[in-house]
Amino acid sequence: MTFPIDIRERDGLRTLHFDSDRVQGAMRITQPYNLALEYTREMMACLLMRDTSRFPHNILLIGLGAGSQAKFLYRHFPQAHLTAVEISSSVVGVARQHFELPDDPARLDIVVGDGYEYLQTTDKIFDLILVDGFNEHAHPGDLNTLPFYRACRARLSEQGLMATNLIGLSHNYKGGFAHIETTFDHRAVLFPKCKSGNTIAFAATGEAIDIALDELKDKAREFEARTGLALLSSVSKLDNAPCCGDGRLRI
């Protein structure tokens, strides 16, 4: 599959577009391994929910875009093997040529194919699955279905976490987060909407997550000191979340 791709630059920010003004990926030219878009940073909040001395070792990304999340994880989690499934070979080429995606098959495996079909056929197990796949019309298609989320859950380890970008879907209770809650037996949390309109959901399998929000904030500060990624504002959104009424995140 090929998309009409447009690359733009303004004020040191390079952006990827699929025949529209909607930004599909971005990179600060002077900081190519940083996460330029708010929602991509918020998806990384899942890394605070487990002990990163043991997690994650195998990561699956559904949707590559400009490769921002793949690059961040590649740099800061050298123990991890990454697999990125991208339906468009043209997008892969653009990520390599214009967004500095590393060419390192030993640690970063790029699969050109459909993310839904990949999960239906692979026998690999992943600690972390990041879902951020959309077509040229900014629609997730089969990536917003019960069979897809069930396939995600089936491929997660006992430390497994899934993070999903639900832009435009979270308020439709027939899909989006409702499918995730059903699939993961309500072991899921929906973060408040980002300024961009993206809404990030997290879901867990295996070992329960039960962590005080104050501890989560401490971990965010430590993570920022190590990686430069500021997650404290994202974690602070949970202070008023219904799932954290007693000051703890439990999923």
Q: Name the fold adopted by 35-240.
A: Rossmann fold (3.40.50)
pLDDT for res 18: 85
Tokens of 228: 């430069």
What residues are paired with 31 via a beta bridge?
A: 28
Specify whether the CB–CB gap between 48 and 216 falls below 8 A.
yes
Instruction: Please identify which residue in the block is written with the tokens 């002077």.
Output: 30
Q: Is the pLDDT of residue 99 over 90?
A: yes
Q: Return the bridge partners of 86, or none.
A: 112
Q: Is the pLDDT of residue 20 over 80?
A: no
Q: Which of 36, 115, 107, 106 is nearest to 76 (CA)?
A: 107
Residue with tokens 């435009």, as numbered in its chain: 168
Taking the C-alpha atoms of residue 84 and residue 49, their distance in angstroms, rounded to an integer, is 22
Could you tell me the residue ranges of all domains in the chain? Answer: 35-240
Question: What value does the mean pLDDT of the chain take?
Answer: 91
List strand residue ranges (DSSP E) for 100-244, in order.
Answer: 108-112, 126-131, 156-165, 188-190, 200-204, 210-212
Give the per-residue pLDDT at 176.
Answer: 82
Answer yes or no: are the C-beta atoms of 62 and 69 closer than 8 Å: no
pLDDT digits (tens, 9 = 90+) for 128-167: 999 998 654 455 667 888 999 999 999 999 999 999 998 7
Which band of pLDDT confidence, cut at 50, 70 and 90, is reported for residue 173? very low
The pLDDT value recorded for residue 94 is 96
The reported pLDDT for the residue numbered 226 is 96
| pLDDT tens column, 69-97 | 999 999 999 999 999 999 999 999 999 99
**Gap between the Cα atoms of 176 and 149, Å rounded:** 10
